[in-house]
Structure 1
Amino acid sequence: MSAPADEPQLQRAVSRWQIVGLSINDVIGSGIYLLPAATVALLGPFSLWGVVAAGIVVALLVLCYAQAASCFDEPGGSYLYAREAFGRFAGFQIGWMIWLTRISSAAALSNALADAVARFWPMAGSGAGRLAVIVLSLGFLTAVNIVGVRSAARTGVILVIGKLVPLVLFVAIGLFYIDPQLAFAGQRPDPHDLQRMGEAALLLLYAYAGFENIPAAAGEYRNPRRDIPFALITMIVSVTVIYAAVQLVAQGTLAGLANSATPLADAAAGFGGEALALILTVGATISILGTNSNTMMMGPRFLFALARDGYGPQLLARVHPRFRTPAAAILCQGIIALALALTGSFVQLALLSMTTRLFAYIGTAAAVLVLARRFADRPGTLKLPGGPLIPVLALLVCLALFASASWLNIGAAALAFVVGAVIYRFPRR
């Protein structure tokens, strides 16, 4: 559904390399600062190979998104792909579940930010200090996104530089202190322990998640059909290399890695002193803030796309006359995320976001099988090697991951799906 001709249109202001920065910013978040310890606890000496294998598996999904994005220059991402492939109901449900994912992710990351800040400002751990960190961070990111997508993109690029510098220092210095025996020591996991393997898979997916947000703001990119696939492919290669290098240094320099609450800071303290540990702690704070910046940028675009198609108040479908952004949708998400952040914990909200996120992956992988045939002759459409092979493999992986989730999380996702079906039955007239 297109906007009326006399209505302000979205501003196409974001360049190719800004999209690359946004995509890296969206993926590298709190996960990399927790991943090394948790992965070693679950996979032992196979942790490094698990990180690399996860990158390869996620690359299947990234390629699905790249191909779908090459067909459209409209906003909506997974919602748009499912709607065009399977109809309005499927599209609505995918968009609805993604928006819930974005809200719960923003709320979870706000709590994680307060926890990170508490390491050097203890008052952020509870009470008024914690409230201030959550309110100010969400308020700041909401305001930046309302003012304009260009300012949000620039903020995202600045934050991605801030989060990458500590990781680069960690790897560049730590590589000289790796103990090969320590790096691949530990108890081997039992491959027949399916629950343990499933938990490890979901953990690794969480660390790589977020790439699906980038196509949501396609209406504000200069050349989305060309630039989004380039950004997504550049991102997954870069992030996999970074994650593998960080995992190797952490495993090879910190004994007892599995029991560390702050693995990168602890490892850095061992070979670089407390100054490097502090840099890693600050890096974790910037990393979380940067990821939440993208969450607050991309999430409202799903709500905006749903409202444009008649679901939700007309106000949410409007573009700000001056800033040319979906300001009402951005403000709505900011308010709801703040309410959730003040009432839920990081772990609860993160688990919910992971389960609901799989709906978007499943919907997009399935949609690509339809869209690839429909747009086969359209110039500029990306063609994946092997035809339907990559989307089919990605779909099977997502279904297996969903089956490995806890019944509690599956039940919560099913309830959200039912609520979405009820909302769909009563569109705006």
Structure 2
Amino acid sequence: MSTATTTPQSGPDTDTAPADRHTRRFGLPIATALVMGNIIGGGIFLLPASVAPYGTISLVAFGVLTLGAIALALVFGRLAHRLPQTGGPYVYARAAFGDFAGFLAAWSYWITAWVSNAALAVAAVGYLDVLVPVHESKPATIAAALLFQWLPALANLAGTRYVGAVQIVATVLKFVPLILVAVGGLFFFDSANLGPFHPGEGSALGAVSASAAILLFSYLGVESAAVSAGEVRDPRRNVGRATVLGTLGAAAVYLLGTLAVFGTVAHDKLVTSTAPFSDAVNAMFGGSWGGAAVACMAMVSMLGALNGWTLLSAQTPYAAARDGLFPKVFTVKRRGVPTAGVLVTVVLASLLTVYNYTAGTQGVFEILVLVTTFTATVPYLLSTAAQIHFLLSGQSEKVSRARLARDGVLALAAFGFSLWLVAGAGYAAVYQGVLFLFAGVLVYAWMAARKQRTAPQG
């Protein structure tokens, strides 16, 4: 077991794989695009319909969530400056609290990544249905969802050069429908479409927490640059900047876009919509051509998000495997990408997708989203706790007292925010998430015993 002062072995300086024409480190623009591309993925294109049953009070949840996401972004920026290494939350938790905490962060984040990929594929199929009625055939629906997962996996296996290129193109294209609806929709805004402020039973605070738990999925990815810090040029400088810039840009688009959809699509129609942004454009301009064009761009956006999340899903187990906490096969890298992590992730996400469709589950997207809400908060809680540990133990950098106080307030705010999200996820999501989490304890026991057995004696 590592002590609290253990320095993780993962990092750019220990990665001696030779660079080739398929490998390229990310600069600030691509790192920012990675953050924005992963945050603004498929979530925003389906979430207005997912939170519509809670009423317009969900816009309040979006505002609170944005403040919490910015606090998390600032904390991750400070942590990445301290430990600019591939692995993000895993690296921070292990450096502060030892191997077991690091493993829990890596395991939870890995689950979050591949379950998110399954959810993104489900969202993408909803927009494909605008063009081709795949919902009429369950095998066609499943095949389409699997295709959305495997195409980005193939792009990752081609190398980091192609991951970055796909991310830039997808990030640019996704802004066309989002800005069209976010800005143009305000000119077609009709308050009669908003529906009730709080239509459900229970307290308003409960409704805010419940809708925020679903909306958190739209902010997953705030840690993207930190997780891939080893692939970023000058990570101490660029990771923090990319994290904050990407989160602020995403927040502005999110708030305007959701408000515009609420105001252009009738509430009763929005509750059952599978492509709310397409419905918004159709309501704005009439006909179906605009909705079809938005659907195409939304699918490109989701492919970009799946492209980035597939990389992240391989980076965390790669970092943990280099420290002996994940199977060694996850350390295999080709063309700058951990190939085993990519393949295992896409297979697991594919199996989960098939299971959820064949089990006849209603609200597949919402169920998957809530599971990721819980699993994502585990590395978030451990990361913010690590920052608090560094500040209180005197391991912080030599900065002014005002800076230390600000960092402490941000870390406490981010920690409290993460706890609130766990409460809002609901009993069912926490139950399923805990099962996923505890399954990892057996894996840790196996890997820790193996590591101890092969350690040099003496």
TM over 0.5: yes
Contact 2:384/2:415 (8 A) holds in 1: yes
SS in 2 for 1:336: helix
1:301 is matched with which residue?
A: 315
- Alignment of 1:95 onto 2:106: yes
The TM-score, its normalising length taken from structure 2, stands at: 0.84
2:396 is matched with which residue?
A: 376
C-alpha distance in 1 between matches for 2:78 and 2:34: 19
1:23 is matched with which residue?
A: 35
Q: Are the structure 2 counterparts of residues 230 and 245 from structure 1 closer, same or farther at C-alpha, using a change threshold of 3 Å?
A: same
2:434 to 391, 414, 417: 414
Deviation at 1:127, TM superposition (A): 4.5
Contact 1:308/1:317 (8 A) holds in 2: yes
SS in 1 for 2:430: helix
Deviation at 1:66, TM superposition (A): 1.2
Question: How many residues were matched structurally?
Answer: 423
Deviation at 1:340, TM superposition (A): 2.0
What whole-Å deviation, never above 9, does each CA across 1:178-201 have from its counterpart, x for those lacking one? Answer: 24x447663446883554232112
2:179 is matched with which residue?
A: 168
What whole-Å deviation, never above 9, does each CA across 1:373-418 have from its counterpart, x for those lacking one? Answer: 6553369xx9576231111121112112212332222222222332
What whole-Å deviation, never above 9, does each CA across 1:62-90 have from its counterpart, x for those lacking one? Answer: 11111111112210011111001111110
Output aligned runs, 1:109-120, within 5 Å.
109-120=120-131
Contact 2:224/2:243 (8 A) holds in 1: no
Deviation at 1:291, TM superposition (A): 1.5
C-alpha distance in 2 between matches for 1:215 and 1:385: 23
Q: Which runs of 5+ in 2 are unaligned?
A: 1-8, 358-363
**Which residue identity lines up with residue 316 of structure 2 in the other structure?**
F
Q: How high is the sequence identity, in percent, across the aligned residues? A: 26
Deviation at 1:124, TM superposition (A): 6.5
**Which residue identity lines up with residue 395 of structure 1 in the other structure?**
F
- Alignment of 1:350 onto 2:390: no
C-alpha distance in 2 between matches for 1:47 and 1:6: 44
When structure 1 is superposed on structure 2, of 187-196 and 107-116 the one drifting more is 187-196
Contact 1:63/1:384 (8 A) holds in 2: no
Output aligned runs, 1:10-159, within 5 Å.
13-44=25-56, 46-123=57-134, 126-159=137-170
C-alpha distance in 2 between matches for 1:266 and 1:424: 47
Q: Which runs of 5+ in 1 are unaligned?
A: none
C-alpha distance in 2 between matches for 1:384 and 1:149: 36
C-alpha distance in 2 between matches for 1:220 and 1:6: 10
SS in 2 for 1:386: helix
SS in 2 for 1:376: coil
Q: Are the structure 2 counterparts of residues 105 and 260 from structure 1 closer, same or farther at C-alpha, using a change threshold of 3 Å?
A: same
Deviation at 1:148, TM superposition (A): 1.4
**Which residue identity lines up with residue 29 of structure 1 in the other structure?**
G
After superposition, the CA RMSD in angstroms is 2.7
C-alpha distance in 2 between matches for 1:47 and 1:419: 33
C-alpha distance in 2 between matches for 1:62 and 1:5: 26
**Which residue identity lines up with residue 421 of structure 2 in the other structure?**
L
